[in-house]
Structure 1
Amino acid sequence: MFQRILVPTDGSDITTNAVNMAIQLAKVHGAELLTLSVMEPFPYSAVSEIQPVPPQEFIDAQQRVATQRVEAVHAAAAAQGLACRMHTVEALHAWEAIVDHAKAEHADLIVMASHGRTGLASLLLGSEAQKVITHVELPVLIVK
């Protein structure tokens, strides 16, 4: 039924549940597993001389963290005998990167975690999962 399953990761504990679910689904369906970590762009400002961290240092750190996140998913998949393609991208909005990546890779299922924010936190911080659901035409499995 599913041929390519995308599981975005932010490295959080709750994402581990989504990763495990994606691995099991990929095994059952004989699907290819893809993982994605989205890096934040450097917060450039008009006063670049007083940046707390030099741009390249920030970018290198973001890449290191993103790589560690997708490697953790790759290792979890490998432990279950499953291959996993890893990707990292830089984007201002994680949900847009997830949607774009799912389309580019022809994913037919996205498995992602929901942090379960409600009330004011949900209003102020938004829900990446909700935005992904709103902007894709393929199934999205939300894992809590």
Structure 2
Amino acid sequence: MYHHLCLPTDGSPLSAHAIEQGLAFAKQLHARVTVLHVIQPYRVYAVSPEQLALGGEAEYRNAVHESSRQLLHSVKERAQALSVGCDTVVVEDELPWQAIIAVAKERGCDLIAMASHGHRGIKALLLGSETLKVLTHSTLPVLVYRHPD
């Protein structure tokens, strides 16, 4: 079966649900997890509202790294409460799906378990889907969690 799960998170409520499910699955399997958060690089040519609110690049980097640290710390505490071995990783990458696959391979994971926001139709086409990209490009098995609603 699986021994090492990669659990990517974007910090959304749906992703939190998938993390909780992934940790429970890892506990059942007596597996360990690597929890991953991918940070988008600071872009001067396409500034997001978050980047504008934070000022410059240094402020943006400090804020997103602190936010990532807090997010991953809470997941690590939850994993410890479940007696699941847990490593955390923060990477900066323009393409989160590529970072997810790369980290999973580098860390020796044998399953990627992640959320799907379930966008359909034109919204899916315009927004793209990191989950779909992981599914279509990964040579590792991918388990997709969908929120029951």
Specify if TM > 0.5: yes
Q: How many percent of aligned residue pairs carry the same amino acid?
A: 37
Q: 1:108 & 1:118 partners in 2: Cα distance? A: 28
Q: 1:20 & 1:57 partners in 2: Cα distance? A: 31
Q: 1:73 & 1:135 partners in 2: Cα distance? A: 26
Q: 1:37 & 1:58 partners in 2: Cα distance? A: 16
What residue in structure 1 maps to residue 15 of structure 2?
15
Stretches of structure 1 lacking an aligned partner (at least 5 in a row): 46-50
Q: 2:131 & 2:35 partners in 1: Cα distance? A: 15
What residue in structure 2 maps to residue 48 of structure 1?
none
Task: Give matches, 1:55-66, under 5 Å.
Answer: 55-66=57-68
Are 1:37 and 1:67, in contact at CA under 8 Å, matched by a contact in 2? no
Cα shift at 1:34: 0.7
One-letter amino acid of the structure 1 residue matched with residue 25 of structure 2: L
Cα shift at 1:83: 2.4
What residue in structure 2 maps to residue 42 of structure 1?
42
TM-score, normalised with respect to structure 2: 0.88
Q: 2:96 & 2:117 partners in 1: Cα distance? A: 14
Q: 2:21 & 2:64 partners in 1: Cα distance? A: 26
What residue in structure 2 maps to residue 68 of structure 1?
70
One-letter amino acid of the structure 2 residue matched with residue 16 of structure 1: A
Q: Provide the alpha-carbon RMSD of the alignment.
A: 1.3
SS of 1:33's partner is strand
Are 2:31 and 2:84, in contact at CA under 8 Å, matched by a contact in 1? no
Residues 27-68 of structure 1, C-alpha deviation per residue, up to 9 Å, x if partnerless? 1221111100011101124xxxxx842111111111111112
SS of 2:113's partner is strand
One-letter amino acid of the structure 2 residue matched with residue 136 of structure 1: S
Are 2:113 and 2:143, in contact at CA under 8 Å, matched by a contact in 1? yes
Q: 1:7 & 1:136 partners in 2: Cα distance? A: 14
Aligned pairs, number: 139
Task: Give matches, 1:123-138, under 5 Å.
Answer: 123-138=125-140
What residue in structure 1 maps to residue 48 of structure 2?
none
One-letter amino acid of the structure 2 residue matched with residue 112 of structure 1: M
TM-score, normalised with respect to structure 1: 0.91
Cα shift at 1:120: 1.2
One-letter amino acid of the structure 1 residue matched with residue 5 of structure 2: I
Q: 2:2 & 2:140 partners in 1: Cα distance? A: 11
Runs ≥4 residues deviating over 3 A:
none
Within the candidate set 104, 109, 112, 2:114 is matched to 112
Cα shift at 1:84: 0.8
Is 2:86 the partner of 1:84? yes
